[in-house]
Structure 1
Amino acid sequence: MSRVTVNSTPIIGLSIVGQLTLLSDLFDGVYVPEAVYQEIVHHHAPRHYGKEELKRLVNEEVFRLYHVKNRSLVESLYGKFHAGELEVIIGEKELGAQAVVMDEHAARSLSKQFFLRPIGTIGALILGKKNRKIAEVKPLLDNLLDNGFYLFQRLYREALSLAEETP
């Protein structure tokens, strides 16, 4: 298909439902910016969703670690956005690709200003079903909700509709 750069929330969400490798099934290249990697691997949260999977996927070169070259642009926008979000967007532009995997509304809006197409965690799951990589979206969405992943009910219903599943 194409290559994408991914932010932390989709890595965590897909890890929760055991579908982190779905990204490498759907895209030719999956890039993880350094700031995103550091946030997930070195974060000291009580739950370490994605930590071991991400380390393994990077070590096995299934996912590629990316070091953003335009540090000054990251630094100039930092504060309005997190470093990981900025590195996803700027890194994707540097790579010459057109899609980012991120969930945060403001960062998705910024990515569109950079002429990138944002895909969220839910969008990746729907794409996975449409490409026959996963059988059902609903149990995965329910698992996300059970694990504290925030999801508007409207988005939940819309996702099931797009996946051609009933609520």
Structure 2
Amino acid sequence: MTLIVADSSPLIAFARSDYLDLVRDVAGTIHVPHTVWQECVHDLSKPGAQRIQQAVAKGIITRLDDPALPTSLEVTPIDAGEKAAIALALKQNCPILLDERLGRIVARRHNLSVVGSAGILLTAKNRGLIPAVGPVLDQWISFGYRLSNELVAEVLRRAQEER
């Protein structure tokens, strides 16, 4: 990949772990629509918000205006950030970093390539950028990031890690 559009949840998770550079190293340029940016940094006291703001200042993340929503997204029951991210990924014809189940379904219905946070971690481990995915997943779970037991088990299996 050389470009990815990101939704807020993965950005916040990676920011809280101080791994925004890792997303860039794996996926290339990170673009976010204005609505996603606002979701991430509207309250700078929230975990990860300042790191995301700093990542934009450093050029790790590029903030763009929200594109016009396709009619098919206007009535979709996903949040405004997910709609804007999907619309931007469609406009830029690139993959989307998205973890929410319904958002992933909608993105796939629009023929987008969907990458999840766990996929970024697996690729990073395979490239030798991180030693293990398990500790990062454990950290995210401690933050309250919702990861199903099945997903964690599958990611650990693919990473050839044990609990």
TM-score of the aligned structures, taking structure 2 as reference length: 0.92
Assess, with a 3 A threshold, how the Cα gap between structure 1 residues 109 and 34 changes in structure 2: closer, same or farther.
same
Say whether the 8 Å CA contact 2:98–2:104 is kept in structure 1. yes
Say whether the 8 Å CA contact 2:15–2:48 is kept in structure 1. yes
Q: Which residue of 1 aligns with 2:126?
A: 130
Q: CA RMSD in A?
A: 1.8
SS at match of 1:70: coil
SS at match of 1:39: helix
User: 1:24-39 to 2 correspondence within 5 Å?
Assistant: 24-39=24-39
Distance in 2 (CA, whole Å) between partners of 1:74 and 1:87 is 12
User: 1:10-159 to 2 correspondence within 5 Å?
Assistant: 10-43=10-43, 48-71=46-69, 73=71, 76-77=74-75, 80-97=77-94, 99-159=95-155
Tell me the CA shift for residue 112 of structure 1: 0.5
TM-score of the aligned structures, taking structure 1 as reference length: 0.89
Say whether the 8 Å CA contact 2:67–2:84 is kept in structure 1. no
SS at match of 1:21: helix
Distance in 2 (CA, whole Å) between partners of 1:121 and 1:48 is 20
Number of residue pairs aligned between Structure 1 and Structure 2: 163
Query: Which blocks of at least 5 consecutive residues in structure 2 are unaligned?
Result: none
Say whether the 8 Å CA contact 1:129–1:163 is kept in structure 2. yes
Q: Which residue of 2 aligns with 1:160?
A: 156
> What is the letter of the counterpart of residue 83 of structure 1?
A
Say whether the 8 Å CA contact 1:24–1:62 is kept in structure 2. yes
Assess, with a 3 A threshold, how the Cα gap between structure 1 residues 64 and 54 changes in structure 2: closer, same or farther.
same
**Misfit runs of 4+, over 6 Å:** none
Distance in 1 (CA, whole Å) between partners of 2:71 and 2:63 is 19
> What is the letter of the counterpart of residue 145 of structure 1?
I
Query: Which blocks of at least 5 consecutive residues in structure 1 are unaligned?
Result: none
SS at match of 1:37: helix
Distance in 1 (CA, whole Å) between partners of 2:64 and 2:126 is 29
> What is the letter of the counterpart of residue 147 of structure 2?
L
